[in-house]
């Protein structure tokens, strides 16, 4: 995707954080943004680098990760289109505490700290919207910590498969398909599992007839049955 014709003000207007701004205000923020095209494995930033902005994934995917002293990678979060990252660190005047890397060809919008501070000074409601976004992120991280501490590996894998799946749009007995956008090793790291254990659980679920694996696509024939199996495993 060529970033040159990309309409930054229009894109900003579709994000909850900026959708109350006037066209003039959107242009001011857009003028302080940088649009970058990354290829797979490009680094967005590294631990220890100064943080003077936050980022929004327009297309593609970014992983946030840390490395252990032995070099083992732990994926902290996967960021997809429309999601942002780096806001909390930006306000601390401290360097990045983890690494960010593109998992696929990615179009990334970088918003400067100064543009954010200018909007906060102009309208305090902007700060409230940013706080709400940070609170949602914190809630998700707390959910993850709870899952790691209280849920078995089997439950975590099922939770991953069911995440974003609801019964509102269709009958719970209808099939759904989950497409793995990243490698199984990356997903396993995100769930604090080994790749071998993650694959073993998938094949166990397939053996129970709860999922059907077709390369990167995982078909869930019946959401209700998979949910019931997760509850029974608690």
Q: Are 134 and 86 in contact (CB under 8 A)?
A: no
From first to last of the 234 residues of the chain, give the pLDDT tens digit: 454 578 999 999 998 888 878 888 888 889 999 999 999 999 999 999 999 999 999 999 999 999 989 889 999 999 999 999 998 899 898 999 999 999 999 999 999 999 989 888 888 888 888 888 788 878 877 877 777 777 889 999 998 998 855 444 556 567 889 988 889 999 999 998 999 999 999 999 999 999 999 988 999 998 889 988 888 876
- What local confidence, expressed as pLDDT, does residue 1 receive? 46
Q: Are 85 and 133 in contact (CB under 8 A)?
A: no
Cα 51 from Cα 87, distance rounded (Å): 9
The structural domains of the chain, ordered by start, are 8-150 (2.60.120.10), 153-232 (1.10.10.10)
- What local confidence, expressed as pLDDT, does residue 169 receive? 54
Alpha helices in the chain (DSSP H): 8-13, 23-31, 87-90, 113-122, 124-150, 153-162, 184-190, 195-207, 223-232
Q: Is 15 helix (H, G, I), strand (E, B) or coil?
A: coil
- What local confidence, expressed as pLDDT, does residue 28 receive? 86
Cα 8 from Cα 105, distance rounded (Å): 19
**Bridge partners for 20 per DSSP:** none
């Amino acid at each position: 995707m060529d970033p040159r014709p990309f309409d930054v003000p229009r894109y900003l207007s579709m994000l909850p954080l900026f959708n109350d701004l006037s066209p003039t205000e959107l242009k001011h923020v857009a003028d302080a943004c940088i649009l970058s095209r990354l290829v797979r494995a490009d680094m967005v930033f590294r631990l220890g680098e100064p943080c003077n902005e936050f980022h929004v994934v327009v297309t593609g995917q970014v992983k946030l990760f840390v490395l252990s002293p032995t070099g083992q990678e732990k994926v902290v979060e996967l960021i997809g289109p429309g999601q942002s990252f780096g806001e909390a660190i930006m306000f601390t005047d401290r360097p990045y505490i983890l690494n960010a890397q593109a998992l696929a060809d990615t179009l990334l919008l970088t918003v400067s700290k100064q543009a954010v501070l200018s909007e906060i000074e102009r309208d305090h409601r902007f700060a409230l919207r940013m706080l709400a976004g940070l609170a949602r992120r914190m809630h998700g991280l707390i959910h993850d910590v709870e899952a790691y501490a209280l849920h078995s590996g089997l439950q975590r894998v099922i939770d991953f498969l069911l995440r974003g799946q609801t019964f509102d749009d269709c009958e719970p007995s209808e099939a759904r398909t989950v497409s793995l956008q990243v490698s199984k090793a990356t997903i396993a790291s995100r769930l604090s599992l080994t790749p071998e254990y993650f694959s073993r659980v998938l094949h166990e679920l397939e053996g129970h007839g709860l999922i059907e694996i077709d390369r990167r696509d995982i078909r869930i024939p019946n959401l209700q049955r998979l949910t019931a199996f997760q509850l029974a495993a608690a």
